[in-house]
Chain A
Amino acid sequence: MDEEYDVIVLGTGLTECILSGLLSVEGKKVLHMDRNDYYGGDSASLNLTQLYRKFRPDQSAPAELGRDRDYAVDLIPKFIIASGELTRILVHTDVTRYLEFKQIAGSFVYRDGKISKVPSTEMEAVKSPLMGLFEKRRAKKFFEFLQGWKDDDPATHQGVDLDKDSMKSVYEKFGLEPGTQDFIGHAMALYLDDDYKTKPARTTYERIVLYTSSMARYGKSPYIYPLYGLGELPQAFARLSAIYGGTYMLDKSIDEIVTDADGKFVGVRSGNETVKAKQVVGDPSYFGAGKPAEGKARVKEEGKVIRAICFLKHPIPGTEDADSVQIIIPQNQVNRRNDIYIAKVSSTHNVCAKDVYVAIVSTIVETDNPEQEIVPGLQLLGPIYDKFVSVSTLYTPTTSGQDDQIFVTRSYDATSHFETVVEDVHNVWKQMIGKELVLKKREVEVEA
């Protein structure tokens, strides 16, 4: 290990693997290490053995669940929103060739004690019990307004200034009921709380457009999902990095981030070897997260998320037996500040044995009894065969890394898709390279 690298990447979570892939394509000499013997870090998908080792080290998986290798259980519940930025990166880097995607079959929202499908077609919208007849007309006007919006054509603005007027005032203009506002803000714009209402309407507008264009892309739901689980995504980007010369070392203990007298990055020590590089980037767990601060604190806490991975032997009741769904419980509906999410996948996506369903219930923690907070979500699942609960602290870097060339990515948040992950990639890239990340289409390899 006496070679010198441009960049050392620590941790093989999705954020780090996308960065590693893009850095290698850019021509950087990359060394990518992980303390675990598997890919994916916090965004890995685990087989049964790995899952039990993590949550119940003194117990082995019941034989009843079937073959170990049929399982790829996501640790972080997220889906890919079809028209989003992750899709764009997947296509531009050509990483799609290593992956196969399927749709998520449906998107549901909780309202007044029961769940209803988020309409995916006009027909469904007309029939949906989510709104009364008059409210449907008002909502139709609202969506027509959004659809018709052109920045450079004031005639389409109906007196609204997206950059100045709050979303609340836009809702009021169209006379939308609070229940409809919940539906639009939470089930479509995918906000986790209600803070957006007092902010300019532009971002909400963009999020609704993202949702509807994603929905229009494949039908059914706005989401797609990789066969064999989300853990395939970091592996695919790691492969991209390797193809462009990146060196991979798993199962490596990372013992020290070595700096010079001024605190600037020098290298990474593993055992008694130190590998040198110009820059280092990694997930918060490599930079002191969760440990008592020794020396400079490079990360700080930013809330907690509770996630309960549940094995079911049946589809979630009331979802038309869908093989995969997202269910959103808007905060107002259960007197919370943050929404509760349920993400369910199944053997259709090659992530578990036949007739098993994996549902993850998650939310941002608001009290000191987080398990109690997700009960409204758990109650929708019907009988739960087994449940693995974890509470994770979210970390965010304290510095940009410009001074010491030590760059830290953010923990995976509670949002339902990967858009904030890609945002983080863009931010870290800009700090590391000093330029915006521009996606160039990869040259297609010659086929014989």
Chain B
Amino acid sequence: MSKQLQFKLVLLGESAVGKSSLVLRFVKDQFDDYRESTIGAAFLTQTVTLDDQTTVKFEIWDTAGQERYKSLAPMYYRNANCAVVVYDITQAASLEKARSWIRELQRQADPSIVIALCGNKADLAARRQVSEEEAKKYAEEEGLMWAETSAKSGEGVHEIFTAIAKKLPTTTSPSARGGARTGAAARTGVDLNKQAANAPGQNEPCNC
């Protein structure tokens, strides 16, 4: 019997490490060298099917650039089930930033959150400043998943998301846990969209 589970996934990391590019590669299998920012593409979904026919649907939240001046809204990371913390292997400072995000997650997030550390821009290995050993050792110490990826070539991208999907608790639906927001499918509140469509005659502008 197949089942579908939905999880909220957030991307964290310094600006320009390739968070949006990783999402674009994963969701649409595209890459664009000259993309300026993340316009319009900050809420995407992608489904991964596991061997046992379980499908895991990721509700992916991109930062929309709000991390740039440390202005990420709490709404962004609220109820995240998994976090992909990205650094750029050609920028040593970006690993430092990733570490501080991971500390923040360990301090603030639900202890069951699945965290993957992701060294992006692996295609630029010639300009590498962060060694595989260093990052891997850190990830092991902190109990994080770790991989190097290239949003540009696609290397490692699908693999890391699939590995996260496997690690998520597929036995209990996240919606069973109080408070966890798991997307439209699992929502229990009122649906404004639905009601708006069949509430005739209202909202006409006041013409008095």
Contacts and interface: CB of A to CB of B under 8 A. Distances in A.
Given A91-B196, A103-B190, A247-B65, A235 B75 contact: yes
A206 B66 contact: no
A173 interface: no
B190 A218 contact: yes
Chain B's interface size range is 35 or more
Interface residues of A, number: 49
A394 interface: no
B192 A98 contact: no
Interface stretch (B33-41, B138-146, B162-170): B33-41
Given A88-B203, A244-B40, A235 B196 contact: no
B73 interface: yes
Given A83-B199, A217-B199, A243-B38, A97 B43 contact: yes
A202 interface: yes
Interface string B79-119: 00000000000000000000000000000100000000000
A100 B75 CA distance: 11
B192 A91 contact: yes
Nearest to A248: B71
B166 to A, nearest CB: 20
B53 interface: no
Given A218-B195, A250-B70, A245 B39 contact: yes
Contact of B66 (A82, A97, A163, A248): A248
Interface string B182-208: 001001011011011001011100101
Given A206-B208, A242-B42, A448-B27, A251 B70 contact: yes
Contacts of A121: none
Contact of B76 (A100, A217, A227, A239): A239
A329 B123 CA distance: 67
A87 B196 contact: yes
Contacts of B78: 228
B75 A236 contact: yes
A247 B193 CA distance: 28
A389 interface: no
A26 B199 CA distance: 27
Listed residue (A350, A445, A448) with the most chain B CB atoms within 10 angstroms of its CB: A448
A118 interface: no
A235 B47 CA distance: 27
A445 B189 contact: no
A243 B75 contact: no
A448 B45 contact: yes
A286 interface: no
A85 B71 contact: no
Contacts of B190: 82, 101-103, 218, 224
A443 B40 CA distance: 9
Given A97-B43, A203-B208, A245-B65, 16 more contacts: A85-B203, A87-B192, A87-B196, A91-B193, A102-B190, A210-B202, A213-B199, A218-B195, A224-B190, A228-B78, A235-B75, A238-B73, A239-B66, A242-B66, A243-B41, A247-B68
What 9 A-B pairs are tightest by C-beta distance, nearest first?
Answer: A242-B64, A248-B71, A235-B73, A235-B75, A243-B42, A250-B71, A249-B69, A448-B27, A100-B189
Interface of A: 39, 69, 82-85, 87-88, 90-91, 96-98, 100-103, 163, 202-203, 206, 209-210, 213, 217-218, 224, 227-228, 232, 235-236, 238-239, 242-245, 247-251, 350, 443, 445-448
9 contacts: A91-B193, A206-B208, A228-B75, A239-B73, A242-B66, A248-B68, A443-B40, A445-B41, A448-B28
